[in-house]
Amino acid sequence: MIKVVKFGGSSLASAEQFAKVGKIIQADKERRYVVPSAPGKRNPKDTKVTDMLYACYALVEAEEDFRVPLMKIKDRYDTIINGLNLKLSLEDEFRKISENFKNKAGVDYAASRGEYLNGIIMANYLGYEFVDAADVIFFDKDGNFDADKTNKVLEKKLAKTERAVIPGFYGSTPDGMIKTFSRGGSDITGSIVSRAVHATCYENWTDVSGFLVADPRIIDNPQTIKTITYRELRELSYMGASVLHEDAVFPVRKAGIPINIRNTNAPEDEGTWIVESTCHQSKYTITGIAGKKGFVSVNIDKDMMNAEVGFGRKVLTAFEENDISFEHMPSGIDTMTIFVHQPEFEGKEQAVISAIHRLAKPDSIELEGDLALIAVVGRGMKSTRGTAGRIFSALAHANINVKMIDQGSSELNIIIGVSNADFENAIRAIYDIFVETQL
Tens-place pLDDT, residues 78-89: 999 999 999 999
pLDDT of 439: 47
Query: Could you tell me where in the chain the CATH 3.30.2130.10 domains are found?
Result: 288-436
Task: Decide if 232 contacts 34 (C-beta within 8 A).
Answer: no
Q: How far is it, in rounded angstroms, from Cα 219 to Cα 428?
A: 7
Q: What confidence score (pLDDT) does residue 327 get?
A: 87
- What's the CATH class of domain 288-436? alpha beta
DSSP-derived pairing of the beta strands 335-341 and 272-275: unpaired
Distances (CA, A) of 224 to 183, 270, 364: 25, 10, 46
Fold of 3-275: Carbamate kinase (3.40.1160)
Contacts of 431 (CB under 8 A, 6+ apart): 213, 214, 219, 222, 289
Task: Give the residue-averaged pLDDT of 106-120.
Answer: 97
C-beta of residue 289 within 8 angstroms of C-beta of residue 213: yes
Does residue 183 surpass a pLDDT of 80? no
Look at residue 409 in the predicted model and tell me its pLDDT. Answer: 62
Over 90: is that where the pLDDT of 184 sits? no
- Looking at residue 410, its pLDDT comes to 65
pLDDT value at residue 385: 79
Residue 243 pLDDT class (50, 70, 90 cuts): low
Mean pLDDT calculated for residue range 259-288: 88
Rounded to whole angstroms, how far apart are CA atoms 264 and 287?
24
Share of the chain above pLDDT 70, in %: 98
Helices (H) and strands (E) in the chain, counts: 14, 16
The pLDDT tens digits of the residues spanning 52-105 come to 999 999 999 999 999 999 999 999 999 999 999 999 999 999 999 999 999 999
Of 16-30, 150-164, 294-308, 409-423, the least confident? 409-423
pLDDT class of 281 with cuts at 50, 70, 90:
confident
Question: Residues with Cβ < 8 Å from 45, sequence gap 6 or more?
Answer: none
Helix, strand or coil for residue 201?
strand
Band of residue 438 on the pLDDT scale cut at 50, 70, 90: low
CATH 3.40.1160.10 placement within the chain: 3-275
Average pLDDT over residues 358-362: 94
> In b/e form, how buried is each residue of 81-111, taking b as 16+ CB within 10 angstroms?
beebeeebebeeebeebbebbeeebbbbbbb
The residue that leads in pLDDT, 386 or 20, is: 20
Report in angstroms the alpha-carbon separations of 108 from 41, 58, 116, 164, 362: 21, 12, 12, 23, 47
- Mean pLDDT score across all residues of the chain: 92
- The pLDDT of residue 147 is 93
Residue 196 pLDDT class (50, 70, 90 cuts): very high
Mean pLDDT of 178-182: 93
